[in-house]
A = this chain, B = another copy of it.
């Protein structure tokens, strides 16, 4: 039974676009797919200026409706994340091989800048563990003496160029480039970095002096074992284990009772205070418990003159900056998106990059190093009920007060407590459930995860990034070269045609083969698609010759999913037509889209195929060419 439709529709060729229209359309699709200028339409000059201001500095937009009620929430959230960030800042600066005050400097300036320009409401800005580790590794590769002034200058240089990289991406609207690192690769990088960081903390936790500078697991573990009998300090270990237990227990409680989240948030600060007091009273530092270098008191000094704009460190500075800037951006965007999705507001990726870039450039001239959104603090910020980015301002001011007033009090803070804090934070970055899900959903994603993960822990963070990029590209290449083609059959009694492998109850039409191509047909896959179709035809023909079904006379190609075809694709279709002619099979097209129709016409391929062989639907084609009167 052939389902014959009342009217056979004709596929029209769309009106030809002018070159300018086409160009405009392409540029818009590629760079302005989010239509950022739509709100500027039909506005007068001064209004446009205001909107433009709002767009660059969102604070002027939401700031007008800001009130005391909202501020109460933001204040509490801000104080909470400040108490979390101060110990983290000191600890992370050590990961980057910088003096502790640089972590605090970064937590003062960058959140302020972000508050004016950023569009995420929940993100908490400041130094983060992964970027600190990356920076530390890459900077030490260039200048191994991390106590030298050159090292600090290179750090500022890298920060400056990280900001420039982010600004450039934002201005050129190339934000989509960060989508090229696959989710799996990011998870792998995070997990690898977390474990690397945690293992490196063993030297703090065990009180080992003269630890290896390498970050790979093998070197670290060798360093740990080799010092086992003489290098471990038992006083340190006791303090460390006590801190660890305290932090883990509060974290566990906070996880069980979400109302008690503040317990986990203030636990690091509490353990810093308690351990500092303990060391001060017992003078444990005389018994080999290492304490932090004295933290310089006072507000950020200007560092504009420190940046290398020439000389042999310019090149490394730019390179490290680009890598760190991209990684920082990836992390910030991932965080921003997660929370934007929870609260259903939209986040403009390109605008975020502008904010991040500006904040790092300003940071680099005010003694900050690369800052971005922090996973742990953002989550606390969200749970503490922050409403706007004002919580970042509150945090920034708290850090400022700390810098001015109480830094000398940190003098007796034992390093081991910082190590414990880092370990607990970074272990939160390893998410076993996500890894299991990767394995379950997509084996290729799991391979990418493992590749990056192993690269980071056995080699180094930058090698991990390289692996991430290569694997992500390999997947993209696979996607474009190996598109799917599916044989369709009719769902009995309807005019619906579906994949015969998925729906074995569908029936094939005698004398016809229906194939759907599920991709744009470009040079990269056109030849594969052509050969695939021909092979499929040969296989089906051989199969049907065995039974008593009639020979295939029509090859219907369902083109609905084919959104574009380029000259390579047209070429392949011409070759397909040639081959089919030799085999006395007619090529029939179903539902080519507007762009495809236009190109079929421009290339005269539609004449070769025949206008009467192009249909709106497979059902129409079958109704026209099907063997009438035969029961299926």
Q: With A344-B582, A442-B599, A495-B494 in contact, is A35–B535 under 8 Å at CB? A: yes
Chain B positions within 8 Å of A582 at CB level: 344
Q: With A522-B475, A531-B346 in contact, is A594–B442 under 8 Å at CB? A: no
* Chain A, 1-45, CB within 8 A of any chain B CB: 5-7, 9, 12, 14, 19, 22-23, 26, 29-30, 33-35
Chain B positions within 8 Å of A172 at CB level: none
Contact (Cβ within 8 A) A441 B599: yes
Oligomer copy total: 2
Q: How large is the interface on A (under 10, 10 to 19, 20 to 34, 35 or more residues)?
A: 35 or more
A502 located at the interface, meaning its Cβ lies under 8 Å from any Cβ of chain B in the complex: yes
Q: Which of B7, B440, B616 contacts A603 (CB 8 A)?
A: B440
Q: Once bound together, how far apart are the Cα atoms of A574 and B3, in whole Å?
A: 38
Q: Once bound together, how far apart are the Cα atoms of A535 and B35, in whole Å?
A: 10
A360 located at the interface, meaning its Cβ lies under 8 Å from any Cβ of chain B in the complex: no
A54 located at the interface, meaning its Cβ lies under 8 Å from any Cβ of chain B in the complex: no
Nearest chain-B residue to A475 (Cβ)?
B522
A212 located at the interface, meaning its Cβ lies under 8 Å from any Cβ of chain B in the complex: no
Q: Once bound together, how far apart are the Cα atoms of A444 and B19, in whole Å?
A: 12
Smallest CB separation, A155 vs chain B (Å) = 31
Q: Once bound together, how far apart are the Cα atoms of A525 and B176, in whole Å?
A: 9
Contact (Cβ within 8 A) B575 A341: yes
Nearest chain-B residue to A485 (Cβ)?
B563
Q: Which of B531, B535, B567, B617 contacts A184 (CB 8 A)?
A: B567
Q: With A476-B477, A476-B480, A479-B522 in contact, is A441–B570 under 8 Å at CB? A: yes
Contact (Cβ within 8 A) A496 B495: yes
Contact (Cβ within 8 A) B33 A528: yes
Interface centre among A445, A482, A494 (most CB of B within 10 A): A494
Contact (Cβ within 8 A) B34 A535: yes
* Chain A, 141-164, CB within 8 A of any chain B CB: none
Interface code A341-358, partner B: CB below 8 Å = 1, 0 otherwise? 110101000000000000
A481 located at the interface, meaning its Cβ lies under 8 Å from any Cβ of chain B in the complex: yes
Q: Which of B22, B476, B568 contacts A443 (CB 8 A)?
A: B22
A387 located at the interface, meaning its Cβ lies under 8 Å from any Cβ of chain B in the complex: no
Q: Which of B23, B491, B518, B617 contacts A561 (CB 8 A)?
A: B518
Q: Once bound together, how far apart are the Cα atoms of A40 and B341, in whole Å?
A: 54
Contact (Cβ within 8 A) A344 B583: yes
Chain B positions within 8 Å of A594 at CB level: 499, 501-502
* Chain A, 553-594, CB within 8 A of any chain B CB: 560-564, 566-568, 570-571, 574-575, 578-579, 582-583, 591, 593-594
Lowest 4 A-B CB distances belong to which pairs? A561-B561, A341-B575, A484-B563, A182-B523
Known: A29-B482, A440-B603, A518-B560. 8 other contacts (CB 8 A): A9-B503, A19-B443, A176-B528, A341-B579, A342-B578, A516-B561, A519-B520, A519-B563
